[in-house]
Structure formats: C-alpha cells, structure tokens
Amino acid sequence: MVPVSYYLVVSVILFTLGALGVLIRRNALVVFMSIELMLNAANLAFVAFSRTFNSYDGQLFVFFVMTVAAAEVAVGLALIVAIFRSKHSIDVDQLSSLKG
C-alpha cells in the first residue's frame, strides 16, 4: 500500500499550484479553475485522512465540498458573465476600481 503521506504530499503540491495559479493568472476563468484545483487538493487530503482514520466523515465532507463547489461555480461563473457584460474583459487586473 502507498503510504497516505504520499497522497498528502500530492495534495500539498496541488494546493500550492492552485494558489500559484490564483496569484499569477489574470484570466478570471483560470483563477476560478485554480480555486477548483485547491478545493480538489483539499478533498484529496480529506479522503486520505478518511482512509487513515478509517472513517467516512472525510468522504462525506468531500461530498459537501463538491456541492458547495458546484454552487460556487454556478454563482461565480454568473458573476464572471455579468462582469464581462459591463467590462468586456475577464482580466482581473482590469477590475481595479476599488483602488485606494
């Protein structure tokens, strides 16, 4: 059997990459996807721990996370569409009207 810590390492790597994606990509859709990636990394860790502690709670959490992710995507994409309508761009750097 592969040790769970390996999965966790993968989870860390994926999470880090996801975070990196949020920070360096300007395309709102890609940023969004990176967030999904981070969620996935977390889900992976959940499942791995579920396995470790021989409990279904972790898996059930993944289930809930997916639901939330689905809702988030629905609203998030709607937002992006709405923003695009007014700004005609999905470049997050264009959305700097809150500049201090």
Site for another protein in 35-94 (CB under 8 A): 36-37, 40, 43-44, 47-54, 56-57, 59-60, 62-64, 66-75, 77-82, 84-86, 89-93
Q: Indicate whether 8 belongs to the interface with another protein (CB under 8 A).
A: yes
Assess contact for 31 and 54: CB atoms under 8 A.
no
User: Which backbone phi and psi does 95 adopt, to 5 degrees?
Assistant: -90, 65
Give the number of residues in contact with another protein, rule: CB under 8 A: 82
Assess contact for 66 and 36: CB atoms under 8 A.
no
Query: Measured from the CB of residue 7, what is the shortest distance to another protein in angstroms?
Result: 6
